[in-house]
Amino acid sequence: MGYNRGSTLSQKPLEYLSELVKVQADGEVAVQSLIAETMQKNGCKVDFYDYLPTQVPVKGEFSISDEDNGQQRRVLIATVEGDPNLPSLLIFAHPDCEAFKDLDKWNSDAFNAFANNGKLFGWGVADDLAGCACAVAAIQIILSRKKTSLGNIIFASTPSKRHAKGVASILHRGITADASLYLHPAESGKGMGEIKAVASGQLEFSITVKGSAPDTTEPGHTAFSHLGVNPIEKAIKIIDGLSALNEARNSRILHKRIHSAVGRSTNLHISRITANSEEKLSRLNETCTLGGAISFPPGEALSEVKAEVENTINNIAQNDAWMKLNYPKITWISGVTGGEVEENSLFYQVASSAIKKITGDLPDVNPMHTSSDIRNPIVEADIPCVGLGCLGGNLSQNNKVDEWIDINDFNRMVEVTSEIIERWCSGEQKKGPEGPRK
């Protein structure tokens, strides 16, 4: 189905979301095709761009998985061309979902959206088909009002998962706007009661520490342990050193929004320790590998954070006779730079007041969605960006089943989005001294 100009809101957004869930069984391309068809029926200009994630230039971001990410991807751009002298808005959501798994554990058909007890269940409904459906519905509402005094409205359906870099790909193609809105159900449990306006940066890493088995042909090493080097014991030194670094960083780094939420502004943890893969606990392995991550607030450079971790490990190694000769191997797995929008900024105020009008309450700022895609327009193109979305839960990416969104909150999401479009693109807010970006 598609929307026609002038049709009323009613159940259409929910019906359209259900359709996206259904076609998703045929893959990302099918989702993009349905969105394209719908936007064309709305009179939008629709373009597709194919790209390779490995060839997208990015600022302050990397992933070693780029080496295996050679699959061509496609972004969809739907544009409502408006007055170039009025503020423009880039809206984006992602059409790609998690790999299908555990479908037999669902209580309903994952690709046949099922409404029950105020919730809509379906594969990818909260990650991020609701965002795509919301964008389509909100633009349809704006078109039905037949307003002519609006700036350009751009909806980008951009692959995001597994470092797909869809948003970055269009920004580096020169697609731009005066502000940007990321539509995605809230993963915090607060739904339309919050705005994502802060995204911490994050680095993921592994550290491989060498050891040495005792020189014996005996199958068990326990009696000979003192003649070998236990890599786990060496790894513990590194864990202790990184823990000290974590506390030192928190004593000198302050981001008020993040600190007020959780009592600190940056964090480092070790989340994986791999050593002996054998079943025999009496044997020493020759390596121990640690895996971990460090989050850091907007304003810190990714390179500076990397250097702190590397210097800490170097100091530990230089003060250990074994590790000085058998230096730990650090592998940087992925990294992104953080970004934020201030609460006193024009676009934040427009989004916040729109939520207040529809829900009756001013939203809180969620500063805890690390690596959120709101960072992309901010970091890559200096475009202010906030994120919002309805209440959702049981996300497949969290290894849950029966993914859902709250139906009433989804309807509020659509209304808020249309309100933001109209307020921002009409120039209702005060323009900056240089006017809108062309």
**Domain range list for the chain:** 12-199+339-425, 201-336
252 neighbors 246 (Cβ within 8 angstroms): no
Residue 435 has pLDDT above 60, yes or no: no
Going by pLDDT thresholds of 50, 70 and 90, the confidence category of residue 10 is: very low
What pLDDT does residue 256 have? 95
* Structure confidence by residue, pLDDT tens digits, 29-76: 999 999 999 999 999 999 999 999 989 989 888 988 765 556 889 999
For the whole prediction, is pTM greater than 0.75? yes
Neighbour tally for 235: CB within 10 Å: 24
**ω into 128 cis (within 30 of 0):** yes
Residue 2 has pLDDT above 80, yes or no: no
* Structure confidence by residue, pLDDT tens digits, 358-382: 999 999 999 998 888 999 999 999 9
Average pLDDT score over residue span 107-134 = 95
Going by pLDDT thresholds of 50, 70 and 90, the confidence category of residue 335 is: very high
Number of Cα atoms under 13 Å in the Cβ half of residue 33: 8
Residue 1 has pLDDT above 90, yes or no: no
Average pLDDT score over residue span 221-227 = 89
Give me the DSSP letters along 109-134. Answer: -TTS-EEETTEEE-TTIIIIIHHHHH
DSSP state of 100: P
What pLDDT does residue 371 have? 83
Number of helical H runs and strand E runs in the chain:
11, 19
What pLDDT does residue 66 have? 64
| The CATH fold of domain 201-336 | Alpha-Beta Plaits (3.30.70)
Rounded-to-integer distance, Cα 14 and Cα 335, Å: 36
Residue 233 has pLDDT above 80, yes or no: yes
CATH superfamily placement of domain 12-199+339-425:
Zn peptidases (3.40.630.10)
* Structure confidence by residue, pLDDT tens digits, 160-204: 887 889 999 999 999 999 999 999 998 888 999 999 999 999 999
Answer yes or no: same fold for 12-199+339-425 and 201-336.
Answer: no
